[in-house]
């Protein structure tokens, strides 16, 4: 185990790419389950996020997109900026985020909600709905039909490693 950890740290120091960082984070913790790509188009204020993971159909509740709203703050608090329901005043409701088979999403980012020009960190979460009836075969899950039901009966099942995006 110690040799594996040293190898992972060396890989991290030599490469520094997000996929390597995700691998190191996955080895150290149980946080990063997969990697994402993210690009920002300053002319349309559009953040495009793509991924390749296919979540389980069982209990799938949707995807959520998170960003740290302070520039250059890798360890700040993430806010939800997109989900299948509007979860806050800064969160866009994007219906397709409730579709398990999508592999990318475009989000309009309002720069006035951020800290100004700089590097921001984004992540993607895969949400799982709680079991409504565990005695049923197959199990019956809540469906998150509205934002209240979604908030009460959902949790993040998997989360991506972070991806730095320059927003100006």
pLDDT at position 27 over 50: no
Q: How far is CA 130 from the centre of its chain?
A: 19
**Where is mean pLDDT largest: 13-22, 74-83, 110-119, 120-129?**
120-129
pLDDT band at 94 (very low <50, low <70, confident <90, very high): very high
How many other CB atoms are there within 10 angstroms of residue 111's CB atom?
13
pLDDT at position 2 over 70: no
**How much is the pLDDT for 115?**
83
Say which DSSP state 23 is in.
H
CA distances from 149 to 65, 88, 158 (A): 19, 15, 20
pLDDT tens digit sequence for 7-23: 555 555 444 444 455 55
Q: How far apart (Å, rounded) are the C-alpha atoms in residues 30 and 19?
A: 15
pLDDT at position 122 over 80: yes
């Amino acid at each position: 185990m110690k040799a594996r950890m040293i190898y992972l740290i060396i890989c991290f120091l030599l490469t520094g790419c997000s996929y390597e960082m995700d691998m190191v984070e996955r080895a150290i913790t149980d946080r990063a389950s997969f990697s994402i790509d993210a690009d920002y188009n300053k002319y349309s204020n559009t953040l495009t996020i793509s991924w390749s993971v296919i979540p389980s159909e069982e209990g799938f509740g949707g995807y959520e997109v998170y960003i740290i709203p302070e520039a250059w703050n890798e360890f700040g608090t993430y806010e939800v900026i997109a989900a299948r329901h509007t979860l806050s005043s800064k969160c866009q409701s994007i219906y397709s985020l409730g579709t398990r088979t999508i592999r990318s999403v475009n989000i309009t980012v309002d720069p006035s909600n951020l800290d100004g020009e700089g590097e921001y960190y984004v992540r993607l979460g895969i949400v799982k709905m709680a079991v409504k009836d565990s005695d049923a075969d197959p199990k019956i899950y809540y469906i998150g039909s509205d934002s209240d039901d979604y908030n009460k009966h959902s949790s993040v099942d998997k989360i991506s490693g972070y991806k730095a995006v320059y927003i100006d």
